[in-house]
Amino acid sequence: MAHAGDRPDRQPSTGMRHPELLPLFATALAIEVAHLRWVLLTQWRCRRCHVRHLDCECKPAWMKMLL
């Protein structure tokens, strides 16, 4: 089994291959979460009052905190 870290043209692997990319991944993840949150708020409708979650007043408290 050959590992990617065994290749001579790469830096030797020390657990994480690209730790410098971690902030980038964190940023991308934060953007993705914000995007999903926005989709959830604007595209989904409340089962009870049938308005978007953005306009809904009856959504549970935990959802208000989350969104």
Q: Which residues bind Zn ion (CB under 5 A)?
A: 46, 48-49, 56, 58
CB of 49 to Zn ion, least distance (A): 4
Say whether 57 sits in a helix, a strand or coil.
Answer: coil
Compute how many other C-beta atoms are within 10 angstroms of the C-beta atom of residue 46: 16
Instruction: Decide whether 48 or 64 has the Cβ nearer to Zn ion.
Output: 48
CB of 48 to Zn ion, least distance (A): 5
Nearest residue relative to Zn ion (C-beta): 46
Instruction: Decide whether 3 or 50 has the Cβ nearer to Zn ion.
Output: 50
- Tell me the Ramachandran region of residue 16: left when phi exceeds 0, alpha when psi lies from -120 to 50, beta otherwise: beta
Which 8-state DSSP code applies to residue 52? B
